[in-house]
Amino acid sequence: MNKFNNRRVFITGAARGIGFSCAQSFYEEGAELVLIDLPKLEETNLETYFPERMTYLQANVTRKEDLSLIKKEMQKGVSVLVNNAGITKDATLLKMTEEAWDQVIDVNLKSVFLLSQMAAAEMKEKQEGVILNAASVVAHYGNFGQSNYVATKAGVIGMTKTMARELGRYGIRVNAVAPGFIATPMVDTMPEKVIDMIREKTPLNRMGKPEDIAKAYRYLASDDASFITGTCLNVDGGVSI
C-alpha cells in the first residue's frame, strides 16, 4: 500500500539536491507533490520525473508575492510541509556582511516561520498534518565561517521544538532532520581536502547521499512516526557523536 496516497506534500527547494530526492521518495509512495523552487533551474525538468500528481510552483520563499501563491495552493490542502530550501553565504565573523547575514536568515529561518504558519493554519482545520524542517549537524557544534548558517540551523531546531509544543493539540507533528555532509550541489564547492577530512571523521566513513536524508523525511512524515514530535533526527553517519 502506498503510504502517501491522497496526501499533498509540499517541498521547498525541490528542484535539486536533497529536496529533489525527497520529492522522488514521497512520489514513490503515492504522494501528490507541490514542489517549490526558484524560477530557474531549467536543468531539472521536473515534469519528466513526476509526470502526474505534481504541481511546480516557481517561487522564492522569501518573496511576499510568491508566498501568497504558496498560501493559495495550501488552501487546497496540505498534509506535509518539508521546509528544505536553504543557502549558505560563508564568511568568518569579522568578514561577514550584513547582507550575507540577512539573506541566509531570510531563506533558512524566516521562510520556515512563514511557511509553517501558513501550513499550520490549514492543518489545524483538518486536525492533522506534519511539518518537517531542515536543520544540520553544524547546529550542534558550530562551523568555521558559518555563523549565519549555524544560527539558522540552531534556530530551526529551537523553532521545531516550540512548534511541536504549540501544535500537538491540533494533531500536527513537527520534527527536524539534521543531515551530516551530503553530496549535493551545496557541498560541491568544498575543496577535496575538506571532503576527505569529513569522511575520516565520519564513523560510517562516507559522505551522505540525498536519499539518506529523503528516507528520514519520509519516515518522519509517515504514520510509522505517529508518536514522534519535537525531535531532531541526526542523519549523519555518526559524525556528530
Ligand X SMILES: NC(=O)c1ccc[n+]([C@@H]2O[C@H](COP(=O)([O-])OP(=O)(O)OC[C@H]3O[C@@H](n4cnc5c(N)ncnc54)[C@H](O)[C@@H]3O)[C@@H](O)[C@H]2O)c1
Beta-bridged to residue 33, according to DSSP, are 9, 54
Q: Which stretch binds ligand X (CB under 6 A): 74-82, 90-98, 116-124, 175-183?
A: 175-183
Dihedral sign from CA coordinates of 183, 186, 116, 65: negative
Beta-bridged to residue 83, according to DSSP, are 133
Residue 31: CB minimum distance to ligand X, A:
19
Tell me: does residue 179 bind ligand X (CB under 6 A). Answer: yes
Of residues 84, 93, 54, the one with CA closest to residue 177: 84
What string of DSSP letters covers 67-104?
HHHHHHHHTT--SEEEE-------B-GGG--HHHHHHH
End-to-end CA distance of the chain: 36
Exactly one of 8, 9, 17, 101 binds ligand X (CB under 6 A); that residue is 17
Nearer to ligand X, 30 or 69 (CB): 69
Cell numbers standing for residue 127: 486536525
Exactly one of 182, 220, 233, 235 binds ligand X (CB under 6 A); that residue is 182
Rounded CA gap, 136 and 70, in Å? 25
Nearer to ligand X, 66 or 128 (CB): 66
Tell me: does residue 155 bind ligand X (CB under 6 A). Answer: no
Dihedral sign from CA coordinates of 23, 25, 27, 32: negative
Nearer to ligand X, 94 or 241 (CB): 241
CB count within 10 Å of CB 1 equals: 5
Chain residues 110-149 in contact with ligand X, contact rule CB under 6 A: 134, 136
For β-strands 172-179 and 80-83, DSSP reports them as unpaired
Residue 125: CB minimum distance to ligand X, A:
26
Nearer to ligand X, 88 or 229 (CB): 88
Chain residues 33-92 in contact with ligand X, contact rule CB under 6 A: 36-38, 60-62, 84-87
Residue 78: CB minimum distance to ligand X, A:
17
Exactly one of 4, 8, 9, 15 binds ligand X (CB under 6 A); that residue is 15
- Residues marked active site are found at 149
Which residues of this protein are in contact with ligand X, per CB under 6 A? 12-13, 15-19, 36-38, 60-62, 84-87, 107, 134, 136, 179, 181-182, 184-187
